[in-house]
Amino acid sequence: MLGKTVIIVKPWLFWVGISFIVGGSTSLAINFGVDAPLSPMEDLTGYSVAWIAIGIVFVLFSLFKKKKEKTQ
């Protein structure tokens, strides 16, 4: 049982990346869903896109790292 738990928890960087992508997408959807125009202080589009980009980098890095570990 412990071995299965370690396998699930091991790719933590992958799941952090997924959570950043989901969080950034949610923030972007909320930002685009408002009815009134946003002031520059309220506009979080840049931050949302940045969180999505960071999440994609984390996911790709973890997949690359996992592939590299399998080849060794």
Q: Tell me: the pLDDT tens digits for 7-58?
A: 555 678 888 999 999 999 999 998 888 888 878 877 888 999 999 999 999 9
In terms of Cβ atoms closer than 10 Å to its own Cβ (0-12, 13-18, 19+), residue 28 is: middle
Per-residue model confidence (pLDDT) at position 50: 95
pLDDT at position 20 is 96
What pLDDT is attached to residue 2?
53
Quote the pLDDT of residue 35: 83
Q: Which residues contact 70 (CB under 8 A, 6 or more apart)?
A: none
Nearest to 28, CA basis, from 16, 20, 39: 20
Separation of CA 32 from chain center: 19
Token look-up 């930002």 returns 31
SS3 content of the chain, % helix, strand, coil (to 5): 80, 0, 20
